[in-house]
Amino acid sequence: MYRGHTIGVVVPCYNEQDHVGEVVRTLPQYVDRVYVVDDGSTDDTWAEMRRVADDINGATSKGTPVITIRHRTNKGVGAAIKTGYRRALTDDLDIVTVMGGDGQMDPEKLPLLLDPIAEGRADYAKGNRLVRPEDRESMPRFRLFGNVVLTLLTKVASGYWSVGDPQNGYTAISTEALSAIPLADMYEYYGYCNDLLVKLHVSGQRVADVRIPAEYGEETSHISYLEYVPRVSLMLLRNFGWRLRQQLTDGPGRGVAVAYLLAATMLVTGVVSATLAGDSSLVSGSLLVGLLGGLAGLGLDYDHDASGTVRIDPDPEGVE
């Protein structure tokens, strides 16, 4: 247990035979359950997972702390995490974290994510590698560019305007928050964490954005950014529409949805008028109203988010 809370760790893996063993072995002793999920690997990841689990489970009197789960086919990292989340809910844990099987996430930083939830300040905590310039020095330039683009799109789609680096998969969530979202609908591709933020906002959860510098070693990324950025962008567009539909029935968020929908309606009216009628005054008026409606929506959205996020920037000596 950690500060009176039972802790589970989901470790999604795909072709991580060289890293997953070390990830599991170096987890802190306060972790109660580890769910290692092999997402249809084609190398020896499953055999390595089983060997490490047998070694650890055979050497402890705490029961079965390492549980191995296998997808027969590759479904996506989001699907692997969803499988781990479901098992953690079944085991009635208090907080569930995610640590990739590639060894990028430092287990010594785990308390930075657990503390905001254990202290009741947040329901979901995530790492942020972009808080300070020195934190992102090791991030490849093409990753940084894609991250900046998707960060902006995720702010709009989710309504969490104070949250950065939404692609960061180093996270912790209370099982109460996990039970409050439509987990079955969680995105199964790499954009699962962006999708999760939208679902958390609609269900009224508080998010902690925690400064954790980027760390890149010898691991190999399985992400194709030429496929990743367009797919996740389209998903965020769909999620934005879903959030607005949900907020139309929610008192505090209804004004946000109305302003955005007014803006979209007037912008479409302007485009249609320009195409069919050629009425410049109607076009200009529609576009102006649409622009003002969009700005009003952004302002209301930002204010609505004010109490929903917590920025945590630990002492640099504690994270570097």
How many Cα atoms within 13 Å fall on the side-chain side of residue 279?
A: 12
Domain ranges of the chain: 7-243+308-318, 247-305
The DSSP string of the chain is: -BTTB-EEEEEEESS-TTTHHHHHHTS-TT--EEEEEEES-SSSHHHHHHHHHHHHHHT-SSS--EEEEEESS---HHHHHHHHHHHHHHTT-SEEEE--TTS-S-GGGHHHHHHHHHTTS-SEEEEES-SSGGGGTTS-HHHHHHHHHHHHHHHHHH--TT---TT---EEEEHHHHHHS-GGG---STTHHHHHHHHHHHTT--EEEEE------S------HHHHHHHHHHHHHHHHHHHHHHHTTSHHHHHHHHHHHHHHHHHHHHHHHHHHT--HHHHHHHHHHHHHHHHHHHHHHHHHHTTTEEEE---GGGT-
Q: What is the pLDDT of residues 241-260, one digit of tens each?
A: 999 888 888 766 777 777 77
Residue 205: what pLDDT? 92
Residue 90: what pLDDT? 95
Residue 73: what pLDDT? 95
Residue 220: what pLDDT? 55
- The structure's pTM equals 0.85
Residue 317: what pLDDT? 46
Task: State the Cα torsion 19-20-23-26 to the nearest 10°.
Answer: -100
Residue 124 tokens read as 């979901």
| Nearest to 258, CA basis, from 247, 271, 273 | 247
Is CATH 3.90.550.10 correct for 7-243+308-318? Answer: yes
Q: What is the pLDDT of residues 32-66, one digit of tens each?
A: 999 999 999 999 999 999 999 999 998 876 667 99
What's the chain's average pLDDT? 84
Q: Which residues of the chain have pLDDT under 70?
A: 61-63, 135-136, 138, 214-225, 251-252, 267, 269-283, 285-287, 289-290, 292-300, 303-308, 311, 313-320
Residue 291 burial class via C-beta count within 10 angstroms: exposed 0-12, middle 13-18, buried 19 and up:
middle
Distance between CA atoms of residues 278 and 271, nearest Å:
10
Residue 282: what pLDDT? 61
Interior angle at CA 34, CA 194 and CA 78, nearest 5: 25
Distance between CA atoms of residues 182 and 148, nearest Å:
27
Number of residues in the chain? 320
Residue 132: what pLDDT? 79
Which residues make beta-bridge pairs with 44? none
Residue 215 tokens read as 């760390």
Cβ contact 7:1 at 8 Å: yes
Residue 142 burial class via C-beta count within 10 angstroms: exposed 0-12, middle 13-18, buried 19 and up:
exposed
